[in-house]
Amino acid sequence: MGNISAEFLLTKLSDAKNHFERALDCKHTEFDDLYPYMIEHPQFFWYKRYVAWSELLTIVKLSEELEMDWKPQFTEKQSEYITSRVMSSRVLDEWYETNDSKEHVS
């Protein structure tokens, strides 16, 4: 197996960020296809966000182990949330920092 390129890791990081933001915005993700029966359950969106957050933390951890700077892809606040690792209601409520113009993923 060859070395993992920085470009590959940055793409994976961007994908994981996008996945988390889609989960935050209650948009369709791969998780919906994997567990279609769960859409009926009230906890579904919580699980979906948890899975996306875990994926994001995993890619960040790999980036750190490979000594790649992952922070430029995130705001300062988002980087703090990721560093603290805990997905709290604050992370869910304040991931998009500006209240007026939330930059939700499309």
Q: What is the mean predicted confidence (pLDDT) over 67-76? A: 94
Is pTM, for the whole model, over 0.85? no
What's the pLDDT score for residue 101? 46
Provide the pLDDT for residue 106.
54
Distance from C-alpha of 61 to C-alpha of 44, rounded to nearest angstrom: 26
Contact indicator for 96, 103 with CB cutoff of 8 Å: yes
What integer pLDDT is reported at residue 31 of this predicted model?
Answer: 86
Say if residues 4 and 66 touch (Cβ distance below 8 Å). yes
- Please give the Cα distance from 61 to 55 (Å, whole number): 10
C-beta of residue 59 within 8 angstroms of C-beta of residue 12: yes
What angle, rounded to 10 degrees, do the helices at 76-84 and 44-65 form? 90
User: Using an 8 Å Cβ cutoff, are 78 and 95 in contact?
Assistant: yes
pLDDT tens for each residue of 3-58: 778 889 999 999 999 999 999 998 989 888 888 888 788 788 889 999 999 999 99
Q: Which two tokens stand for residue 10?
A: 């940055």
- Cα separation, 39 vs 62, in Å, equals 31
Q: Does the pLDDT value for residue 78 go beyond 60?
A: yes
Q: In 10 A of CB 100, how many CB atoms?
A: 4
